[in-house]
A and B are shown apart, each in its own frame.
Chain A
């Protein structure tokens, strides 16, 4: 009985059953701490680099997904050229290798530092592409580039957190975002209530079919997948197919 404080003893005698349970638990814990002399458990040692995190089971519905389509462009462009003439020669080589128009626009814009509008006109002026790019395609390409710029920042932030030991390291392409950061990364995404968090860890899976961003809570709890399916590619989605253009059906 001496283990109980006076107010605890009083509450045990005259209080509710829940209060009595809480006090009993607190007292037993206090006694254990006094007996062992240890007041807290050691901090669990996190693995510095572990296997890829377990994937979320659920996927976002199509209507709740973002309109951004990152597979449109390559995550990082490698080109050491600085003068426009040399860059244009490099773009021509990529064209000869079969790179699509929007990728050439992205390549030219990133390597030259010129505005996207100028680059779109340059591609036509240089006769690298025959038709001017559609403004919607240009916007989709810019959005995809922004995705990779922001993802690189999130990736750097995640690496810092791993170095500080705040989050476990993994072999995947992980990045860290706060809520606003995630909204900027995936504009227009609507997360279900149970998946909303202040901070997120994301994992971009380029190899999966389709490419996908998996969302996790900051503690590593799998939340939801955001797949980027090819049928929702903004360069194709909502555009008439080639067969429709070749043989338009007349309706009276």
Chain B
């Protein structure tokens, strides 16, 4: 099973460098380009001359540096490239590559990622550019979703499944969801606290429903059974859901509401109440004034 992030048949592949050029843009396009260049150069009689010719034409700085590194010539960022290559070579054991990818999806900066992983931001930046160039397309949610939810078959190694899960969490829950992995449990005795447990299980249940849709599984009587079970389960802790709550939110309206909430959260509750009261009085006065004007004009 080929993944969008896999380095599959490169020799005849047309490598796209921007998402706007084609939907089959791959995040590791730089690595693929270098593979193609190296194969081209190795197929000629003079390898180093071919490399020189390619370097003259290639505009991307990182592709040039990676090519120099593989051609055993002096690369200015050899240490960073080595770090990135080691991340991928040892991904089954260390899983650092998956962590970095998930944190990029969650919108963390290279400095923040470097702090979590324990390296410098330049190494992270090199990894990102060589193997996971998606940051500039983070707003293209449909494409990012496709990257985070590749179809994996049963022969796919566990590290790939784990990477998919981690990226899916990052996509659905963002950094707060991902942070639960890295943060230590808040309970004093060292076990997961109850809130965290319930939060995690509810989120996984939501992921399960999302997966059903993503996998294209048609509706069945099992959905009804699950709905009945969910309604029963919600009754005991007293979670009430009205039909109004179940209406799908308008994405644009939701974004606007989130903006308002963000703005309001900057003020303390007391200030917000006073502001609301002031706006209510001003609004009432404006309405009265408008009414008076309309009465005068009609008279």
Residues of A within 8 A of B (CB): 82-86, 111, 113-115, 117-118, 121-122, 125-126, 146, 149-150, 152-153, 180, 183-184, 187
A125/B42 contact (C-beta < 8 A), A114-B35, A118-B10 known: yes
What does DSSP make chain A's interface, helix, strand, loop or mixed?
helix
Cβ–Cβ contact A85 & B72, under 8 A = yes
Q: Which of B79-125 contact A (CB under 8 A)?
A: 81-82, 85-86, 88-89, 92
Cβ–Cβ contact A82 & B157, under 8 A = no
Chain A residues with Cβ below 8 Å from B11 are 117-118, 121
Chain B residues with Cβ below 8 Å from A153 are 92, 157-159
Q: How far is the CA of A85 from the CA of B67 in the complex (A)?
A: 11
Chain B residues with Cβ below 8 Å from A183 are 154
Chain A residues with Cβ below 8 Å from B155 are 146, 150, 184, 187
Additional 18 contacts, C-beta under 8 A, given A118-B11, A146-B155: A82-B69, A82-B81, A82-B85, A82-B89, A83-B70, A84-B38, A84-B70, A115-B7, A117-B11, A118-B39, A121-B11, A121-B43, A122-B42, A125-B42, A146-B157, A149-B157, A153-B158, A187-B155
Q: How far is the CA of A111 from the CA of B88 in the complex (A)?
A: 10
Chain B residues with Cβ below 8 Å from A187 are 155
A126/B42 contact (C-beta < 8 A), A113-B7, A113-B89, A115-B7 known: yes
A118/B157 contact (C-beta < 8 A), A83-B69, A83-B70, A83-B72 known: no
Cβ–Cβ contact B10 & A114, under 8 A = yes
Tell me whether B242 is interfacial, beta carbon within 8 Å: no
Q: How far is the CA of A121 from the CA of B86 in the complex (A)?
A: 24
Q: How far is the CB of A111 from chain B (nearest CB, A)?
A: 8
A-B contact pairs, 14 of them (CB 8 A): A82-B81, A82-B82, A82-B85, A82-B86, A82-B89, A83-B69, A113-B7, A113-B31, A114-B7, A115-B6, A117-B8, A117-B10, A153-B159, A184-B155
Q: How far is the CB of A76 from chain B (nearest CB, A)?
A: 11
The 10 closest A-B pairs by CB, nearest first: A85-B72, A84-B70, A125-B43, A125-B42, A117-B9, A184-B155, A115-B7, A118-B10, A184-B154, A82-B85
Q: Which of B53-88 contact A (CB under 8 A)?
A: 69-72, 81-82, 85-86, 88
Cβ–Cβ contact B71 & A85, under 8 A = yes
Query: Which residue of B has the minimal Cβ distance to A153?
Result: B158
We find that the number of chain B residues with CB closer than 8 angstroms to chain A is: 29
Chain B residues with Cβ below 8 Å from A121 are 11, 39, 43
Cβ–Cβ contact B72 & A113, under 8 A = no
Chain A residues with Cβ below 8 Å from B157 are 146, 149-150, 153
Chain B residues with Cβ below 8 Å from A122 are 38-39, 42
Interface centre among A111, A117, A122 (most CB of B within 10 A): A117
Q: Which of B142-156 contact A (CB under 8 A)?
A: 154-155
Chain B residues with Cβ below 8 Å from A83 are 69-72
Chain A residues with Cβ below 8 Å from B43 are 121, 125
Q: How far is the CA of A172 from the CA of B9 in the complex (A)?
A: 38
Q: How far is the CA of A125 from the CA of B39 in the complex (A)?
A: 8
Chain A residues with Cβ below 8 Å from B92 are 149, 152-153
Q: How far is the CA of A184 from the CA of B86 in the complex (A)?
A: 27
Q: Which of B132-174 contact A (CB under 8 A)?
A: 154-155, 157-159
Q: How far is the CB of A151 from chain B (nearest CB, A)?
A: 11
Q: How far is the CB of A141 from chain B (nearest CB, A)?
A: 15
Q: How far is the CA of A89 from the CA of B35 in the complex (A)?
A: 17
Q: How far is the CB of B262 from chain A (nearest CB, A)?
A: 42
Q: How far is the CA of A228 from the CA of B260 in the complex (A)?
A: 67
Q: How far is the CB of B79 from chain A (nearest CB, A)?
A: 11
Query: Which residue of A has the minimal Cβ distance to B85?
Result: A82
Q: How far is the CB of A179 from chain B (nearest CB, A)?
A: 10
Q: How far is the CB of B214 from chain A (nearest CB, A)?
A: 20
Chain A residues with Cβ below 8 Å from B36 are 118
Chain B residues with Cβ below 8 Å from A85 are 70-72
Q: How far is the CA of A82 from the CA of B157 in the complex (A)?
A: 23
A115/B8 contact (C-beta < 8 A), A82-B82, A125-B43 known: yes
Query: Which residue of B has the minimal Cβ distance to A109?
Result: B7
Query: Which residue of B has the minimal Cβ distance to A146?
Result: B155
Interface centre among A122, A126, A146 (most CB of B within 10 A): A122
Chain B residues with Cβ below 8 Å from A117 are 8-11
Q: How far is the CA of A83 from the CA of B70 in the complex (A)?
A: 4
Query: Which residue of B has the minimal Cβ distance to A85?
Result: B72
Chain A residues with Cβ below 8 Å from B86 are 82
Q: How far is the CA of A153 from the CA of B95 in the complex (A)?
A: 13
Interface centre among B8, B43, B70, B86 (most CB of A within 10 A): B70
Q: How far is the CA of A122 from the CA of B47 in the complex (A)?
A: 12
Q: How far is the CA of A59 from the CA of B89 in the complex (A)?
A: 37
Q: How far is the CA of A219 from the CA of B212 in the complex (A)?
A: 34
Query: Which residue of A has the minimal Cβ distance to B159?
Result: A153
Chain B residues with Cβ below 8 Å from A146 are 155, 157
Q: How far is the CB of B84 from chain A (nearest CB, A)?
A: 10
The listed residue (B10, B69, B154) touching A180 by CB distance below 8 A is B154
